[in-house]
Amino acid sequence: MKKLTLVCALVFTSALASGCIIVDDDDDGGGEDSSLTIVNESDLVIEEIFVENDLFSDELLGGTGLFPDEEITVLLDCDFYDVTVVDEDGCETAILDFDLCFDDATWFIGNADLDAGCF
């Protein structure tokens, strides 16, 4: 099973998630060839981010939260991924079967994206 390691550069003395990079620490000996940056452009805190494929599933934030105007980047191997975010109200928004192969992608999440995940 793959593991992801969180590497953060703290901008201030508080633990901000802005500028964090998630590194895929799998044992396959290969390097990550793709990245996904998630930018929180909403007014809400994103409490959880799940990244999964056929080989692994991992929650990236570990309880820290991704606050408005912060971003996080995950480095991954070429594959198709499901990426789900959960905001502070419990609303879920997802990208399913996202083709991330030899590419750097950015997902900007706004209020309308998060509102669409609430029922």
> pLDDT at residue 61 above 80?
yes
Distances 40 to 44, 80, 99, 108 between C-alpha atoms, Å: 8, 22, 21, 6
Domain count, the chain: 1
3-13 average pLDDT score: 36
> pLDDT at residue 107 above 50?
yes
83-110 average pLDDT score: 92
Q: Which of 14-23, 26-35, 58-67 has the highest mean pLDDT?
A: 58-67
Beta carbons of 64 and 17 less than 8 angstroms apart: yes
Residue 20 CB-half CA count within 13 A: 25
CATH code of the domain covering residue 12: 2.60.40.2890
Range of the domain at 58: 4-116
- b vs e for 9-19, b when ≥16 Cβ sit within 10 Å of the residue's Cβ? eeeeeeebbbe
Q: Return d(Cα 100, Cα 73) in angstroms, integer.
A: 13
Q: What angle do CA 25, 2, 23 make, to 5 degrees?
A: 30
77-93 average pLDDT score: 92
Q: Give the number of other CB atoms < 10 A from CB of residue 113.
A: 16
pLDDT of residue 30: 54
Answer with the residue of higher pLDDT: 104 or 63. Answer: 104
User: Is residue 8 very low, low, confident or very high in pLDDT (cuts 50, 70, 90)?
Assistant: very low
- Note the pTM of the prediction, 2 decimals: 0.74
56-66 average pLDDT score: 86
Q: Quick one: which of 105, 103, 113 has its CA closest to 46?
A: 113
